[in-house]
């Protein structure tokens, strides 16, 4: 079923597609839009979404008892187990359907698990890998704000080098985090029997299409969404989309998908902008930029980005029509 | 195990797995750990052979086993898993969440020592580490009780006045791997006894969406904890009712405290699990020698049967408590609980604390006899922890 713009227009007009107004995330935070885009697509395509969330900014801000910003079934269990929890929910769905105990067996269920980068790249990786390997039909979406924001901007496996965090701050002696970001997308793609994609709210049509593909994929999907934290990235409240766009244009956040091993770049940037532009637009790199070794670190990042982009192009060419499973 | 006849010599693990087959839960998460492994193995074979049509989740860790079972139970399924020792410890975080979410999960635990150093044999340190988690804890003496309690636990957990998870403890290897004769109920009888699951606020009722596991700050958390505390208070009433019904279908009647030759006993020993059987045997020997001895085995450790114990222990000469786990820097857990129960008694017995059997160390008749003899000689000191079967 192809998603059409009219369906989305109707859904856009509905301000409460799953996650409603009245949550307490920071103004301008990208995370709720990541959830909205996904749920909107599911609902527009006739699915009934059921959502599991990992502990993090988005979870604590949307379910402060006795209030909830969710008008669809929602479950939070703990920090590192959103995937395992939803794998239980999805299994229960199959069991109840089989046994004729599902309240509404005619509905088309869609199971989503959401986690921040900490709950996904780090502490939750085992649970995610296990659930994807077992082949549960669910869509895991990481809203990647490149740090542990709920606990106050600590480093995660997704934090880029030189970004100001509180557990690896940029100081007189050390340039903050020196490691590159963990390439989780590739780790997930290596599960092979999976649909994996990167998305950004700055490219909504691409985002919607990938969610649609994930919904229709016969097996687990993993979606990585660029999700700027306006608070700790030190950008203005209205800048999340703009900075995401720059992330895509610099190749910092390439938009692509891997379907059972077949690579496809969904946004071919003709000429990548230098990553420095992306870094300079944010306060979290301010301390890095003041350091004498800033060029060294930025060059290293730039080199990695360029190489990864070239590699993606090559993978796209090499894997064309060659699904691994 | 092919077709299941009614009376069979089986291991405790087989007995428990067979109870699970008869319960036929909607969802079972499975992860191996010695000595629990055969439980999930037998059960998986039942499913593979079509003797149960449960949806299995062969997870990648115990943490995910408990997480998945929480998800499944919240979704509206009857969900089970089983574990032991480090597996239970790895689940710990989610064990609390299961209880505070009031999910009626049933989990057999083949009790085993916690590392380190690593040791795969029986003691109770795993379950004791979860004693304040909000789970009901049943303790079986043998394979028959492990089987019976697994079935009864479903009714206890799902009762509308309770809605709390239940751990069915049975000693690792001693019960899990020891072969005993077990009387099985008919499949249909068990099916009828456990009935259809009663589900509250299922996540999958999409027309009535609910939020499970919200952020619960200082303005409500305390009240929710109070509700959990209150739910625990209903356990004995419901247990007795379930036990009565179970007696009707099985001829086996369980009480909160299993009291053996206690009526006229001057010296009473208290222990959990399989050791109670050895104590019963020793009690018989000592009785033949003219000693007025008895043994109490709490079938439930959480909630703790304080009032029931007080009723049985008032006026005894001595009470000896045997613990199969230590509490470093404090009194052993069962002893501590018994001792504090006796504080309010009019005639307080002498008290003795004995820790035994850590890491699977054998407990013998002569050890139990030694502890009783200390009591006969008036040589018990409430503040002194002693050890049975330890090389000193
Ligand atoms: C086992 C465990 N360790 C630590 C925490 C504390 N904690 C809660 S949220 C969080 C970070 C969340 O970061 P991320 O997943 O990136 O989501 P974000 O807050 O950035 O949205 C941490 C460390 C926890 N809840 N549980
Ligand atoms: S701290 Fe960052 S991630 Fe968290 S709500 Fe605010 S903007 Fe969003």
In tens, the pLDDT along A215-274 reads 999 999 999 999 999 999 999 999 999 999 999 999 999 999 999 999 999 999 999 999
- Range B65-84 average pLDDT: 98
Which of the four pLDDT bands, split at 50, 70 and 90, describes residue A15?
Answer: confident
Residue A196 has pLDDT above 70, yes or no: yes
Q: From chain B, which residues contact A within 8 Å (Cβ)?
A: 26-27, 29, 53-55, 57-61, 63-64, 67-77, 79, 93-94, 97, 196, 202-207, 209-217, 220
Residue B273 has pLDDT above 70, yes or no: yes
Write down the pLDDT at residue A1: 62
- Range A86-107 average pLDDT: 96
Write down the pLDDT at residue A13: 81
Count the Cβ atoms, other than its own, within 10 Å of residue A210: 27
Write down the pLDDT at residue B178: 98
Residue A3 has pLDDT above 90, yes or no: no
- Range B21-41 average pLDDT: 98
The dihedrals phi and psi of A135, each to the nearest 5 degrees, come to: 80, 25
Residue B1 has pLDDT above 70, yes or no: no
**Contact A104/B at CB under 8 A:** yes
pLDDT digits (tens, 9 = 90+) for B298-316: 999 999 999 999 999 999 9
ipTM (interface predicted TM): 0.97
- Range B198-217 average pLDDT: 96
The closest alpha carbon to B382, from B328, B325, B342, belongs to B342
Write down the pLDDT at residue B2: 43
Write down the pLDDT at residue B5: 61
- Range B235-249 average pLDDT: 98
- Contacts of A315-321 spanning 24+ positions with Cβ under 8 A: A315/A263, A316/A256, A316/A263, A316/A264, A316/A265, A318/A263, A319/A261, A319/A262, A319/A263, A320/A262, A321/A262
**For ligand 1, is residue A29 a contact (CB within 6 Å)?**
no
- Range B102-119 average pLDDT: 97
Which of the four pLDDT bands, split at 50, 70 and 90, describes residue B255?
Answer: very high
- Which residue minimizes the CA distance to atom 26 of ligand 1? A79
In whole angstroms, what is the distance from residue B150 CA to residue B237 CA? Answer: 18
Interchain proximity A65–B216, CB inside 8 Å: yes
Residues in chain B, how many? 392
Using alpha carbons only, what angle is made at residue B126 by residues B120 and B131, rounded to the nearest 5 degrees?
170
What does the block give as tokens for B209? 């969406």
DSSP per-residue codes, B49-92: TTS--PEEE--SSHHHHHHHHHHHHHHT--EEE-B-HHHHHHHH
In whole angstroms, what is the distance from residue B232 CA to residue B226 CA? Answer: 10
Sign of CA dihedral A13, A19, A24, A30: negative
In whole angstroms, what is the distance from residue A267 CA to residue A192 CA? Answer: 22
In whole angstroms, what is the distance from residue A286 CA to residue A234 CA? Answer: 9
Count H helices and E strands in chain B, helices first.
13, 16
Mean pLDDT of chain B: 97
The closest alpha carbon to A230, from A57, A40, A68, belongs to A57
The residue to mutate among A36, A57, A238, having the most atoms of ligand 2 within 8 angstroms of its beta carbon, is A57
Mean pLDDT of chain A: 96
């Amino acid at each position: 079923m192809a998603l059409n713009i009219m369906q989305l227009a109707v859904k856009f007009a509905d301000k409460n597609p799953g996650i409603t107004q009245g949550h307490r995330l920071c103004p301008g935070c990208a995370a709720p839009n990541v959830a909205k885009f996904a749920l909107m697509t599911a609902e527009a395509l006739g699915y009934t979404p059921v959502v599991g969330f990992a502990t993090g900014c988005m979870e604590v801000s949307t379910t402060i008892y006795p209030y909830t910003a969710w008008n669809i079934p929602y479950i939070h269990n703990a920090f590192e187990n959103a995937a395992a929890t939803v794998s239980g929910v999805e299994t229960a769905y199959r069991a109840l359907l089989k046994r004729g105990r599902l309240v509404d067996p005619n509905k088309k269920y869609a199971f989503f698990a959401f986690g921040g980068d900490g709950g996904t790249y780090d502490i939750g990786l085992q649970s995610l890998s296990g659930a994807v390997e077992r082949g549960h039909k669910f869509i895991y979406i990481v809203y990647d704000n490149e740090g542990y924001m709920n606990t106050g901007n600590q480093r995660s496996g997704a934090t880029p080098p030189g970004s100001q965090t509180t557990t690896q701050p940029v100081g007189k002696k050390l340039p903050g985090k020196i490691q590159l970001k963990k390439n989780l997308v590739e780790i997930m793609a290596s599960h092979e029997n999976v649909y994996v994609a990167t998305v950004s709210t700055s490219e909504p049509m691409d985002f919607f299409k990938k969610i649609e593909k994930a919904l229709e994929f016969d097996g687990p999907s993993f979606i990585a969404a660029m999700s700027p934290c306006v608070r700790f990235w030190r950008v203005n409240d209205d800048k999340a989309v703009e900075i995401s766009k720059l992330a895509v244009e610099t190749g910092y956040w390439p938009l692509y998908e891997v379907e059972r091993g077949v690579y496809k770049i969904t946004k071919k940037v003709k000429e990548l902008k230098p990553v420095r532009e992306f870094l300079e637009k944010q306060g979290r790199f301010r301390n890095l930029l003041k350091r004498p070794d800033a060029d060294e670190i930025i060059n290293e990042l730039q080199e990695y980005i360029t190489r990864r982009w070239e590699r993606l192009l090559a993978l796209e060419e090499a894997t064309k029509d060659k699904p691994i499973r | 195990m092919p077709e299941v006849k009614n009376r069979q010599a089986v291991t405790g693990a087989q007995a428990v797995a067979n109870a699970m087959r008869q319960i036929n839960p909607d969802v079972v998460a499975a992860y191996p750990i010695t000595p629990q492994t055969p439980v999930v193995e037998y059960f998986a074979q039942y499913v593979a052979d079509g003797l149960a049509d449960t949806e299995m989740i062969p997870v990648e860790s115990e943490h995910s086993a408990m997480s998945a079972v929480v998800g499944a139970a919240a979704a509206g399924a009857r969900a089970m898993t089983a574990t032991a020792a480090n597996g239970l410890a790895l689940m710990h975080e989610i064990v609390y969440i299961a209880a505070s979410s009031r999910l009626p999960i049933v989990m057999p635990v083949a009790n085993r020592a916690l590392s380190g150093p690593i040791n795969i044999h029986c003691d109770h340190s795993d379950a004791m580490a979860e004693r304040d988690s909000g789970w009901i804890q049943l303790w079986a003496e043998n394979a028959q009780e492990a089987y019976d309690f697994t079935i009864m636990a479903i009714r206890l957990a799902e009762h509308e006045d309770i809605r709390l998870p239940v751990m069915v403890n049975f000693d690792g290897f001693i019960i899990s791997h020891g072969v005993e004769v077990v009387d099985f109920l008919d499949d249909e009888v068990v099916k009828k006894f456990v009935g259809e699951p009663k589900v509250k606020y299922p996540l999958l009722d999409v027309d009535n969406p609910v939020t499970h596991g919200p952020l619960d700050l200082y303005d409500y958390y305390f009240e929710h904890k109070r509700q959990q505390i209150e739910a625990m208070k209903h356990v004995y009433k419901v247990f007795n009712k379930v036990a009565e019904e179970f007696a009707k279908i099985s001829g086996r009647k369980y009480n909160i405290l299993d009291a053996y030759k206690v009526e006229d006993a001057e010296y009473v020993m208290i222990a959990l699990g399989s050791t109670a059987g050895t104590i019963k045997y020793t009690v018989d020997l000592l009785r033949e020698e003219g000693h007025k001895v008895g043994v109490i085995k709490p079938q439930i450790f959480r909630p703790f049967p304080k009032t029931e114990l007080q009723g049985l222990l008032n006026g005894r000469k001595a009470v000896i408590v045997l613990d199969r786990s230590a509490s470093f820097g404090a009194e052993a857990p069962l002893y501590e609980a018994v001792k504090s129960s006796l504080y309010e008694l009019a005639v307080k017995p002498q008290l003795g604390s004995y820790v035994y059997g850590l890491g699977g160390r054998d407990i013998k008749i002569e050890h139990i006899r030694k502890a009783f003899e200390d009591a006969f000689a008036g040589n018990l000191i409430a503040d002194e922890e002693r050890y049975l079967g330890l090389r000193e």
